[in-house]
Structure formats: structure tokens, C-alpha cells
Structure 1
Amino acid sequence: MKYLIILAIGLSTITASSQGNKEIKNSKNEKDMKVLFVLTSHDELGNTGEKTGFWVEEFASPYYTLLDKGAKVTVATPKGGKAPIDPNSDTEDNQTEDTKRFHKDEAAQKVINNTVKLDEIDSNDFDAVFYPGGHGPLWDLANDGTSIKLIENFNQQEKPIAFVCHAPAALKDVKGTDGEPLVKGKKVTGFTNTEEEAVELTEVVPFLVEDMLKKNGGVYSKGDDWAEYVLVDGNLITGQNPASSGLVAEKLYDKLK
């Protein structure tokens, strides 16, 4: 009997130790998550003479959502160096708790001012990729060969690929493993035609995100204008507008857990 009691205590100790090791391992895996953010380098709003770039909320909300969960975030742009902020996203009316945090965060400012050049990035070094929007991607990332190949590599590796608002523009010429447009037959969303009309840029942008996704065979749907709306189809995650950016990051995180 004494032997059985000792044996039982020993087995309990081993089990508890194994569970503890598992918890430590899981915690370590979460902290080891590496996510690539790809921002635009383009800052000219067509021929209007006005500036554009990336939308601050669409960077800040996902950035802090993932950073606070222990992810390591690297930010890249086609040209490297300072990523341009769309001045319209920096007005008082467009401030959120995350954008306010961003503007007080010297480390985040340093990241934005010193982005890695996109052609120096290897998809093998990351677990997922996230594309914030702003109008800039319509001009550069939509046609950038390095970005296109990078997304295709992430997709081939079955890693999460996430886009919000105008960032699905980067999917315009991306092919899936079958050689067809990557979005073909997949549930997708992005900045709506009516939202573009509301900001009076329908005739300025090179193409409309909603129209492009439909043309490429995407099963496009949308929520109310400016309301949070996110779709997940396999490893592809898309959000409709700035309000959707945080939820896109949450869905990406769920894929990585």
C-alpha cells in the first residue's frame, strides 16, 4: 500500500510538471509570433496635389492588438525608410485611443520612420502578414512585383494573410496556387464603392477596391458603410474599412494561436 501511494504521488508530480512545461511552451510560442506589416510608400493622391499614404488607425489598432499579445512586428514598405501617413487620417476627428497611443510612442514612431525595404523581406522569417490600408496601396502595392510575390509565398505556405480597407488592392494581381486570381471563389470584403463616393475620390483613384475584387472572382460582401465588417476564408482575412482593422488583427491572432 505504501508503495502504491508513493507511486501515485510520483505520477501526479510528473503530470503536473508536464502540464507546467506545456503552459510554458504555449506561452513561449505566443511570444515568438512574428508578424510582418506592409505599408505603402506612395504619398501622392493622384493628380489632386494632395497627399496620401497609410491610414493611421489601420496601422495603430492592429499593431497594438498584436504587440500587446506578445507578437513581434516588423514593418516594411516598397521603398524602405519613412512610411507616409495620410494627413486626413491624422485629423482630430479620426483619433482613437490607439492613434493617440501611437503618437506618444517613440518606439512606434521609430519603426514607421525606419521601415525595412520590401525586397529584403523573406516570408520564411514570419508567421503571418498584415496589410493596413489608406489610399496609397492603390498606386504602389497593387502593382508591386515584390509585394505580389511575397503574398503568393505566404499563401503557398498556408500562413495567414490579412488586409483591411484599401489594402486588398494589393491582391489585384496576386495568383493562388492554381494560377487563378487568389481571391477567386473566396469570401472577401474591402472599401466599398459607396464609401469611396462619400470621401469624393471615386474619380481620383486608379480603381475601386470593390469592383476589382468582384472582377477577380471574389465573393464580395459588405456591411453598412463605416461599420465593422470582417471576413475570413481559409488563411485570407479581409476587413471593410478603418473600423474593421482591430478585428482583422484579432482574427489573424486567432489563426496563429
Structure 2
Amino acid sequence: MKKILVVVTNVSKYPNLERATGLWLGEAVHFVDVMQKEGHEIDYVSPKGGYTPIDPHSLQADQMSELDWQYYEDQTFMNKLGTTLAAAEVNAAEYDAIYYTGGHGVMWDYPEDAHLQNIASTIYQKGGVVSAVCHGSAGLVNIKDATGEPLIANKKVSGFTNTEEAALGLENIVPFLTEDALVSQGANYVKGDDWAAFAVADHRVVTGQNPASGGAVAAEVLSVFNSTN
């Protein structure tokens, strides 16, 4: 059994727009469901700890699968999202993998959080997996490897595409574009079709493109676990 740290945002509103944001629920659900069915243990962390808001757009009928509804109605799961660990209090040595969920809010609290960066770097340096999906990949841009270089440099990495952001009309609202930020750190950015599930693994860094990709990321993380046992 492995122990996995799932990262969620504390940001509930766009700082520059009268619009709610938060965790894109399915990006947590579809990853967590795969891992729990394999018997792995999940903890939840956010930069500040405590409550993570749910992006209301992720709860619309056309975004919710039957599995999403099961988790949304699961009080134990929802209570965990309401009582997350604070990044500063996490002992990274306890974990075998970290998984950054998305939702637009993460772009304002993941990238500059030194505690999250240190957690991910520690997990990676002890042979663990660093993973992310969609906007959650923004959390990877400032993580350093043991030599002080960007962790994602020269690795195949995915995340929310510029064209997907433009399709939402938010390309000028977000503080940066996820795809561009990954490329700026030397990543070999790769993607599939817009809105289709896509994930890639490269040297224990596993990333998915968009909200449809949480389960695909989980499958790749499991493959890494199996190859390193």
C-alpha cells in the first residue's frame, strides 16, 4: 500500500473577476477512486489547510458523471475536503506520491507556495511520484530537483492547453497560461486533442491535460508504482 498526498486549492474566487472558482471536483474524484480501489491511502493538503471550495462550474449536470455524484454525496470524502492539512504541517517523508488537482483557483496559490514545492521535491528525491492534472500542473513550474534545476526540465509534461483556455474565454483573466509556464521551465510539453483524456509519464513525473484526465493520470501513477516495486 502506498500513501498519496492530494493537493487542493484554497482559492474560492477569481481575484480579478466576479466569478467563483475552487477545486474542479472530478479531477480529485477520478484519481482518488482509482487509488482507493487499489488499496492506497489518501491524505488531502492545501496551501493554508482547512476548507477547499468546489468550483460550481464543475458541479453542472453536463460535467458530473455518476461517479462524481457518488463522491459529492459521500460525507466522509466531502468532510476531508473541508478539513485539509496545511502544507506547512505535512511530513513529506510519509508519502510515496503527490497529486496536484486543478481548477482555476490553483493558479493563484500553487506556484509560489514553498511548502508544496519542498514536499514535492522531497517525495521525488526519495524515489516517489510527482503528478498533476489540468491547471494543477501549474504547481510543478517552480519545483526544483536535487541539483536546483526545474524538476520538469527536459521531461514530457502536459497540462491545460492554451487553446482550451481560450475556448473558455479566460486566457486574459488567468495570471499566466499553464502550457506556456510549463514550456518556460524547459518542459517538453505534450498534449492530445482538446478536452479528451490525455496523460503522460516521464521519469516519475506524471501529468494530465484537462478535467477528463484524472483517471488517466491515476493509471500512469499505478504503472510507475508497479515498475518501481
Q: TM-score range by the shorter chain?
A: over 0.9
- C-alpha displacement of 1:40: 0.9
Out of 14, 38, 45, the residue aligned to residue 76 of structure 1 is 45
CA distance in 2, matches of 1:226, 1:49: 25
Out of 181, 190, 211, the residue aligned to residue 159 of structure 2 is 190
Out of 48, 62, 73, the residue aligned to residue 31 of structure 2 is 62
SS of the aligned residue for 1:238 comes to: strand
CA contact (8 A) 2:200 2:220 kept: no
CA distance in 1, matches of 2:108, 2:68: 24
Out of 118, 122, 133, the residue aligned to residue 164 of structure 1 is 133
- C-alpha displacement of 1:46: 3.0
SS of the aligned residue for 2:62 comes to: helix
- C-alpha displacement of 1:75: 0.5
Higher fraction of helix = 1
CA contact (8 A) 2:140 2:152 kept: yes
CA contact (8 A) 1:141 1:147 kept: yes
CA distance in 2, matches of 1:251, 1:97: 23
The answer to whether the aligner puts 1:122 opposite 2:79 as a matched pair is no
In the TM superposition, 1:1-257 aligns within 5 A as 32-257=1-226
| Length-normalised TM-score, structure 2 | 0.96
SS of the aligned residue for 1:98 comes to: helix
SS of the aligned residue for 2:44 comes to: strand
CA distance in 2, matches of 1:65, 1:45: 30
- C-alpha displacement of 1:255: 2.0
Q: What whole-Å deviation, never above 9, does each CA across 1:28-65 have from its counterpart, x for those lacking one?
A: xxxx3211101111112131121111100101111111
SS of the aligned residue for 2:109 comes to: coil
CA distance in 2, matches of 1:106, 1:197: 35
CA contact (8 A) 1:46 1:205 kept: no
- C-alpha displacement of 1:233: 0.3
CA distance in 2, matches of 1:195, 1:60: 21
- C-alpha displacement of 1:218: 0.5
Which stretch shifts more, 41-50 or 131-140?
Answer: 41-50
Q: What whole-Å deviation, never above 9, does each CA across 1:134-190 have from its counterpart, x for those lacking one?
A: 111110011111111111111111201110000110112111222111111111111
Of the two, which has the highest radius of gyration? 1
- C-alpha displacement of 1:97: 2.2
CA distance in 1, matches of 2:98, 2:16: 31
Unaligned runs of 5+ in 2: none
CA contact (8 A) 2:25 2:54 kept: yes
**Number of aligned residues:** 226
- C-alpha displacement of 1:221: 1.3
- C-alpha displacement of 1:199: 0.7
What amino acid does structure 2 have at the position aligned with 1:229?
A: F
CA distance in 2, matches of 1:212, 1:85: 24
What amino acid does structure 2 have at the position aligned with 1:165?
A: C
Segments ≥4 residues shifted beyond 6 Å? none
CA contact (8 A) 1:58 1:133 kept: yes
